[in-house]
Structures are given as C-alpha cells and as structure tokens.
Amino acid sequence: MAPSIIVDDADLTRALIGAQWQRFTNSTAAHNQTTTVCRTELNGQGIANARAPKLSLNLPSLKGFTLVGTGAENLRLNYTFKSGDVPRDGPVSKNPELFGKVCLYRRLTGVELMTLTSTDTYSIEIVPDSGRFTLDYVLFTPDKPSGYAGQRLMSDDHDSTIKYSTGQWSLTESVVLPRAIPMKGTLARATAVGASWSVQFTGADIAVYGVVNSVSGKLSASYSIDGGPASTMTHVNGSQAVNADTWLMNQAFFRQNVAEGTHTLNVTVTELTGNQSYYFDYLTFQGIDQTQLNATSAGKKSNTLGAIIGGVIAAIIILGCCGAWGRKKYYVVYERRPTVYVKETIIA
C-alpha cells in the first residue's frame, strides 16, 4: 500500500463557493482540529444564499478520492465533472450507525462520507444538496509513481512502509471509538516499553499522529531522524482525569522539519505505566521532486468498517494482546452499549 494524498479542509478555502460554508478551528477530534461545514438548510434563503454551495476540487489523480468528515443523516451530495452537466447523485455512505445516530451527544468524525473510485477529469464540483455536510479532509489515491512535489502525503499505520518491532505490536481494523473513527479505521497498538517502529520516506517535513486514551498512567516515546539525537515526547503525563470513555483523536505526537531528501524516522516507546498503551494512527510528510510512490497498490485497502454491528456506536473498543502470536482474533465488547467487532493481528 502506497501513501495517499491528504488535503485538509483548511487548505480548501479557495475551493468553496457560496455563503453557506463555515470553518471551525476547535474541532478537537478532527485532523489538525479543523472542519468545514456547509449549512444546506440555508440554501435559497435570502440574497446571500441564493447561489448553490459548491466544493470545487482540482484532482491530483484519476483513481478517485474519499471525502472524510462527520456523519449526518439525510446527507445528499451531488457532483459534476464539467460546468453545465446534469448533476449526478454522489455515492454517499448510507450506514445508519455512522450517519443517523448520536454518539455520546456528538456525531462520529472520521467517517468516509463519499468515495469515487475513479473520475473522468482532473476537476470536480461537489454540490451539497441536503443534510449537514461536515468535511475534515480529502484522501486521494495516487495514479502515478512520481510528480508529488508540494503534496501532503499520508501513510496509515497499516502501510507496508511502516516496520514494527517483532512481537510487540498489534494491528487492529474496524475500529470505532466513542467520538471518532481513526484514519481508515485502523490503529497500531503497543503495550510495552521498548516497542518500536520505523519508516523511510523521501520528502521534507514529517508529522506523526496517534490516539490517546485517558486511562491511568504515563506515556512517552522518543523520535529520531536519521540516527540523530532523539526527541522524547511526553504524550500523557499522569495528571489527566481518568475516564476510559475519553479518547483524544488525531494527536500530533511528533513534528519535525527536515531538509528535502530520503530520511528514516525511528520511534521507540520509552515510558508506559498504568493502563496506558501507545496507539499509532498515521503519519504525513511533504512530497518532493524525488518522491516515488507505488501507485499500482495505492488504491488497495480493506473495508475497515465492514465489521461494525448494531446500535449507537459508542462502545469502547478493547484491544487485547492475549493469545498466540500471529493469530487473528475477534473481540466482542459486551456492555450496556452496542456490540462492536474488532479484528486484530499480532505482528510475529
């Protein structure tokens, strides 16, 4: 699996047409804590809203894209490839558990709202028609091995470029947490000091994102570029209010500006006490002229939400580490909350 191209909603200001759009900079569960909302209920109300709202995208690839944001019932998105074309109905996800229900008084973020697996041209207009359209970011599937200078690239924790220390990590799929779904519905989890992972990338600055559960204990990790001095980052200092139902999403674990070139990032868990775990979600880096991607496999990913079952999805997912190494296991959480299945693979 090659990296995806990620475009944050905050970078799409010039792509927004109409007065119905609002930008929020305190969306704590979102990527970079920003979301953009289209208030379709204002369509046609007054002179300011006479113009239909549109999201006009210039596509870096013809292999499709996914709009990711907050689930909402009655969401309808139309789209056109050319000005004057008859709008087509967008293939908006209809999963009622992600769209129609409130989770802990908030709607789920990180939901794949609409996906097109291919496009006709390198431009498209998304026209919100009804429902509350809340956009967090757009993921594009690369269609060529190079030409990504200036693009922000994203590698998920399940990406084959991520190398994990043997026997110390579990990779989970179909993950739904109380307020949000992690990137592509997956997480990598370590429960012991010394667990490590590394990645080689050709680009510029890099950022690592993870998830924090507000359980007891402390959590720290060291981050080193190209074997240089390690930066130890404290992700949980022990002063947090303990509440296992609280998950902090899209936490920026580490950021560093590096010169253009090929680099290796090494990460090691250095402190882990109480009930803490280290949850790695994804990383991003800046593409350069020399960046090469395996575009053939870039579009392949599992159906990360296929195992979600029943009810308001507000369950805390228990990611256990028991059992034989290398076996796939299925965990069922029985609470007064709905059942959620998680597929977990231990790295042997």
pLDDT tens digits, one per residue of 74-85: 899 999 997 778
Name the pTM for this structure. 0.85
Nearest to 259 by CA among 298, 214, 228: 228
pLDDT tens digits, one per residue of 328-340: 333 323 233 332 4
d(CA 61, CA 59) in angstroms, rounded, equals 5
For the segment 32-37, the average pLDDT, to the nearest whole number, is: 96
Nearest to 161 by CA among 279, 285, 321: 285
Q: What is the dihedral of CA 97, 101, 103, 104, to 10 degrees?
A: -150
pLDDT tens digits, one per residue of 83-129: 778 889 999 987 766 665 444 446 788 999 999 999 989 999 999 99
Other Cβ atoms less than 10 A from the Cβ of 190: the count is 25
For the chain, give the number of residues. 348
Look at the block and give the residue holding tokens 């019932």: 73
Look at the block and give the residue holding tokens 């109409």: 18
User: Is the Cβ–Cβ distance between 171 and 347 less than 8 Å?
Assistant: yes
Both tokens of 131, joined, read 């429902």
H helices within 101-178, ranges in order? none
